[in-house]
């Protein structure tokens, strides 16, 4: 019972942030296009977000450990909220700043929350490490459902209520506020080891260079991610001329992704006993 209470407390703080992140995906291209920007300018705005995510990702672990993981979770919600509000602007530089903040906030979203949970699970509550996968399997399951729902909600508020493509970003703000306030009021703070940033990056680089398989895996993963980023940029201009509802299409993509993950898990654990190579 104590573990279930702790798990529920974590999920109540994490899920609203994940929902807000998914809400910002379906109509971003359409929003920027409605501002009158050229496709090359939209590509530059997308790149601002990706670049800030990559650049901050190199030091986010050290940053989170020093600042505190709870504070980093609250900061993630704040950065993403400001980013969403900046989407109301017509100014290119303001929108670029919004994409940079979104990249920073997303980097924290996918590092600080899980780091906070693992430390609390093992160090403060002394629960068995074998119980950690139970929590993250729940996160994966609900995250898929949140992604599908986000596309439907985005379509509803943008087209059904005729509020335009900026509406999902505004809907995301209360979710981010809920996540930040809940974490700030109900979670305890914890910290990691204080390490110099240069030393941490150097250790990571040496680990890659010394292990050819790790380097190869990283390169393959980078190529896969680059394909997904290209797809994320192109799917809207490809489908929009055909009158396909973008929110519904996004939900379809997310549902297919969830089915693929379920088939993979079934394949390696079921009768087929497939082995990932």
- Residue 103's alpha-carbon distances to 20, 108, 214, in angstroms, are 14, 9, 25
On whether the pTM is more than 0.85, the answer is: yes
Superfamily of domain 1-266: MFS general substrate transporter like domains (1.20.1250.20)
Residue 149 · residue 252 · CB < 8 Å: no
Q: How far is CA 111 from CA 3, 57, 146, 248, in A?
A: 22, 9, 19, 29
CA–CA dist 256, 253 (Å, integer):
5
Q: What is the DSSP letter of 161?
A: S
Residues of the chain with pLDDT under 50: none
Give me the pLDDT at residue 205, please: 83
Please, are residues 204 and 62 in contact by the beta-carbon 8 Å criterion? no
For residue 245, give both structure tokens: 């509802």
By three-state DSSP, how is residue 72 classified?
A: helix
**Contact status, residue 29 vs residue 41, Cβ threshold 8 Å:** no
Query: What is the per-residue pLDDT for 277?
Result: 66
Nearest to 48 by CA among 90, 89, 83, 85: 83
Neighbours of 183 (CB within 10 A): 27
Domains of the chain: which residue ranges? Answer: 1-266
Q: How many CB atoms lie within 10 A of CB 235?
A: 17
Cβ atoms of 166 and 87 within 8 Å: the answer is: yes
Q: How many Å apart are CA 143 and CA 140, to the nearest integer?
A: 5
For residues 132 and 118, the answer to whether their CB atoms sit within 8 Å is: yes
Cα 8 to the center of its chain, rounded Å: 20
Non-local CB neighbours of 218 within 8 Å, separated by 6+ positions:
208
152 contact partners, CB below 8 Å, separation of at least 6: 247, 248, 251
Q: C-alpha distances in angstroms, 202 versus 3, 146, 216?
A: 37, 37, 18
Cα angle 120-175-86, degrees, rounded to a multiple of 5: 115
Task: Give the residue among 123, 112, 119, 135 at the shortest CA–CA distance from 11.
Answer: 135
Q: Are 209 and 47 in contact (CB under 8 A)?
A: no
209-261: pLDDT as tens digits: 899 999 999 899 999 999 999 999 999 999 999 999 999 999 999 999 999 88
């Amino acid at each position: 019972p104590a573990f279930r209470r702790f798990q529920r407390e974590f999920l109540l703080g994490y899920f609203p942030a994940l929902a807000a992140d998914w809400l910002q995906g379906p109509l971003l291209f359409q929003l920027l296009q409605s501002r009158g920007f050229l496709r090359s300018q939209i590509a530059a705005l997308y790149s601002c977000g990706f670049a800030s995510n990559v650049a901050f990702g190199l030091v986010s672990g050290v940053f989170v450990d020093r600042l505190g993981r709870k504070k980093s979770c609250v900061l993630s919600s704040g950065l993403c909220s400001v980013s969403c509000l900046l989407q109301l602007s017509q100014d290119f530089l303001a929108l670029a700043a919004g994409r940079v903040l979104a990249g920073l906030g997303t980097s924290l979203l996918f590092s600080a929350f899980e780091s906070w949970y693992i430390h609390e699970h093992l160090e403060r509550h002394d629960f068995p490490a074998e119980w950690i996968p139970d929590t993250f399997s729940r996160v994966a399951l609900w995250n898929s459902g949140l992604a599908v729902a986000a596309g439907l909600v985005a379509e509803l508020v943008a087209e059904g209520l005729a509020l335009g493509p900026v509406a999902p970003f505004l809907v995301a703000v209360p979710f981010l506020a809920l996540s930040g306030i809940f974490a700030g009021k109900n979670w305890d703070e914890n910290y990691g080891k204080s390490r110099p940033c240069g030393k941490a990056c150097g250790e990571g680089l040496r680990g890659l260079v010394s292990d050819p398989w790790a380097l190869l895996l990283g390169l393959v993963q980078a190529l896969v991610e680059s394909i997904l980023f290209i797809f994320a940029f192109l799917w809207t201009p490809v489908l929009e001329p055909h009158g396909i509802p973008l929110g519904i299409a996004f939900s379809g993509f997310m549902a297919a992704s969830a089915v693929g993950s379920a088939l993979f898990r079934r394949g390696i654990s079921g009768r087929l006993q497939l082995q990932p190579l």
